[in-house]
């Protein structure tokens, strides 16, 4: 019976694992205050599973010193299934053995570790700023004023239905009254966030709200500039105009970005480029020009906010050969002007360099594939433009 009882005791011993000086939940405290000879004293209660028909429990308490060695603080026999101790901050462990009616040690539990922590109530007085715009150049610096900000304090931004975002301070003053953060704006979405400062003991303060949003709901870009057009493969351009490029041309681009995100803006653009074609020979001149309207999906990523953007666009359009006609030397005869057109798909990338306020230079390269017999299969078009962001 003694062996079976020992096995039952070992299987049923349930001991507390971690305790702290204070707890946020008033209904689950592991501490209480008692009046002593020297005034009010804070006690921690260590408890374990109670058993009947025994003489008591042998309790052994140890503390870890600065050399990471365990030193015995207390060893005594108690009749109750708990003991009240008043301990300074530190790391501790205890174990309990069961003393049967024959005054024999019948079972010995494993060590149970716990920490006694000094609790500091964080207090957040204010955030600077309370409102951050993604559009601003210097919009990622957050300064928090308060009290009891320590190196082990955990700072988070909390939003409903989202995981809390842990913030890493870049600066905490020695008095623990001011903390500075550099926010990663690419990890944040527009909305309201609750700022929380939480002590390692569990005490916290989250009475301040940080709002993130865009100043403008839509960005608009308008640019115009020079376009160089190159043709590859056999086509009417090489056969009649004897050209594989056009050095005279222009481009106009209009971009609307209604879907704005911290990691870039989405929308569309409309563009139209034109290039001049001509060929002069001894007997005749052939002239004409091309027009290429396009509609594209567009994505603009701010590499350096308000300094450098990357524009990626792709879509469909058409290539028009306009007013193609022959003029013969020493005569007023001209052939009828003819128009030809074919569908195309295109894609391109652009870099936008801001030079003054919202004025920027745009360096863009478009790649065009056409689907018209006699037209070039592939065309490339470097562009240099000046634009303004509205």
Tokens at 33, concatenated? 């205050």
Residue 66 has pLDDT above 70, yes or no: yes
CA 78-82-85 angle, to 5 degrees, is 90
Of the listed ranges 114-128, 295-309, 319-333, the least confidently predicted one is 319-333
Average pLDDT, the chain: 85
Q: Let me know whether 92 and 140 are in one domain.
A: no
Domain boundary among the residues 147, 179, 213 is at: 213
| Lowest-pLDDT range of 18-22, 68-72, 163-167, 375-379 | 18-22
Q: What pLDDT score was predicted for residue 6? A: 33
Contact 56/99 with Cβ under 8 angstroms?
yes
Q: Please give the model's pTM, rounded to 2 decimal places.
A: 0.63
Query: For residue 18, is pLDDT > 60?
Result: no
Would you give the end-to-end CA distance of the chain in angstroms?
88
Banded pLDDT at 140 (limits 50, 70, 90): confident
147 to 22, 174, 197, 347, 379: CA distances (angstroms) = 18, 11, 10, 55, 65
Query: Tens of pLDDT along 236-267?
Result: 888 777 788 889 999 999 999 999 988 899 99
pLDDT mean over 137-166: 91
Return the sign of the alpha-carbon dihedral for residues 309, 312, 316, 319.
positive
Does 182 score more than 70 pLDDT?
Answer: yes
Tell whether 280 and 360 lie within a shared domain.
yes
Please check whether residue 166 is in contact with residue 153, taking contact to mean a CB–CB distance below 8 angstroms. no
Tell me: pLDDT of 14 over 70: no
332 and 224 inside one domain: yes
Per-residue pLDDT, 31: 64
How far apart, in Å, are the Cα atoms of 36 and each of 20, 31, 41, 85, 285? 21, 15, 6, 13, 113
Name the domain boundary from 83, 116, 149.
Answer: 116
- Which class for 351: exposed (0-12), middle (13-18), buried (19 or more C-beta within 10 A)? middle
The answer to whether residues 103 and 231 belong to one domain is: no
Q: What CATH code is carried by the domain that includes residue 160?
A: 2.60.40.10
Q: Are residues 227 and 354 in the same domain?
A: yes
Q: Which residues pair with 297 in a beta bridge?
A: 268, 314
Q: Do 141 and 278 lie in a common domain?
A: no
Tens digit of pLDDT for each residue in 192-243? 999 999 998 889 999 999 999 988 889 999 999 999 999 988 888 887 777 8
Residues 62 and 192 in one domain: no
Of 213, 238, 261, which residue constitutes the final position of a domain? 213
CA distances from 276 to 184, 296, 320, 363 (A): 48, 24, 12, 21
Mean pLDDT of 328-335: 70
For residue 111 the two structure tokens come to: 């060590």
Question: Quick count: other Cβ atoms within 10 Å of Cβ 224?
Answer: 15
Instruction: Let me know whether 244 and 371 are in one domain.
Output: yes
- Whether residue 335 sits in one domain with residue 257: yes
Q: What is the mean pLDDT of residues 99-116?
A: 86
pLDDT at 38: 64
CATH number at residue 353: 2.40.160.20
Residues 23, 84, single domain; the answer is yes
Co-location of 245 and 177 in the same domain:
no
pLDDT of 193 reads 96
Task: Find the domain containing 24 and state its range.
Answer: 2-116
Q: Are 312 and 349 in contact (CB under 8 A)?
A: yes
Contact between 181 and 144 under an 8 Å Cβ cutoff? The reply is: yes
SS (H, E, C) 125-188: EEEECCEEECCCCCCCEEEEEEECCCCCCEEEEECCCCCCEEECEEEECCCCCEEEEECCHHHC
Same domain, yes or no: 25 and 151? no
337-386 per-position pLDDT tens digit: 788 899 999 999 999 999 998 999 999 999 999 998 889 989 999 999 99
β-partners of residue 260 are 265
Considering its fold, how many domains does the chain have in total? 3
What confidence category does residue 280 fall into, taking pLDDT thresholds of 50, 70 and 90? confident
Average pLDDT of the residues in 1-6: 34
């Amino acid at each position: 019976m003694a062996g079976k009882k020992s096995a039952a005791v070992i299987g049923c011993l349930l001991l507390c694992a971690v305790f702290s000086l204070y707890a946020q939940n008033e209904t689950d405290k592991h501490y209480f205050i008692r009046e002593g000879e020297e005034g009010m004293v804070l006690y921690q209660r260590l408890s374990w599973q109670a058993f009947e028909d025994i003489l008591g429990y042998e309790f052994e308490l140890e503390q870890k010193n600065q050399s990471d060695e365990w030193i015995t603080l207390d060893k005594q026999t108690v009749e109750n299934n708990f003991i009240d101790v008043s301990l300074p901050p530190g790391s501790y462990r205890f174990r309990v053995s069961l003393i049967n009616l024959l005054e024999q040690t019948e079972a010995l539990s494993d060590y149970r570790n716990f920490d006694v922590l000094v609790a500091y109530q964080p207090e957040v007085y204010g955030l600077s700023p309370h409102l951050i715009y993604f559009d601003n150049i210097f919009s990622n610096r957050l300064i928090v004023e308060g009290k009891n900000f320590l190196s082990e304090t955990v700072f988070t931004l909390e939003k409903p239905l989202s995981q809390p975002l842990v913030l890493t301070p870049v600066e905490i003053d020695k008095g623990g009254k001011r903390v500075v953060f550099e926010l990663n704006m690419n990890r944040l979405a527009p909305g309201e966030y609750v700022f929380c400062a939480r002590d390692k003991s569990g005490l916290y303060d989250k009475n301040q709200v940080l709002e993130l949003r865009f100043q403008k709901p839509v960005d608009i870009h308008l640019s115009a500039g020079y376009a160089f057009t190159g043709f590859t493969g056999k086509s009417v351009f090489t056969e009649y105009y004897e050209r594989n490029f056009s050095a005279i041309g222009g481009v106009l681009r209009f971009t609307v970005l209604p879907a704005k995100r911290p990691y870039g803006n989405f929308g569309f653009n409309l563009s139209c480029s034109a290039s001049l074609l001509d060929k002069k020979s001894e007997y005749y001149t052939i002239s004409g020009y091309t027009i290429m309207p396009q509609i594209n999906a567009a994505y603009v990523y701010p590499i350096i906010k308000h300094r450098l953007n990357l524009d990626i666009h792709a879509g469909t359009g058409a290539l028009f050969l306009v007013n193609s006609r022959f003029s013969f030397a020493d005569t007023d005869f001209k052939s009828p002007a003819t128009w030809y057109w074919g569908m195309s798909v295109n894609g391109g990338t652009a870099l936008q360099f801001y030079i003054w306020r919202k004025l920027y230079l745009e360096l863009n390269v478009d790649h065009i594939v056409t689907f018209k017999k006699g037209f070039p299969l592939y065309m490339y078009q470097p562009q240099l433009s000046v634009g303004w962001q509205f």
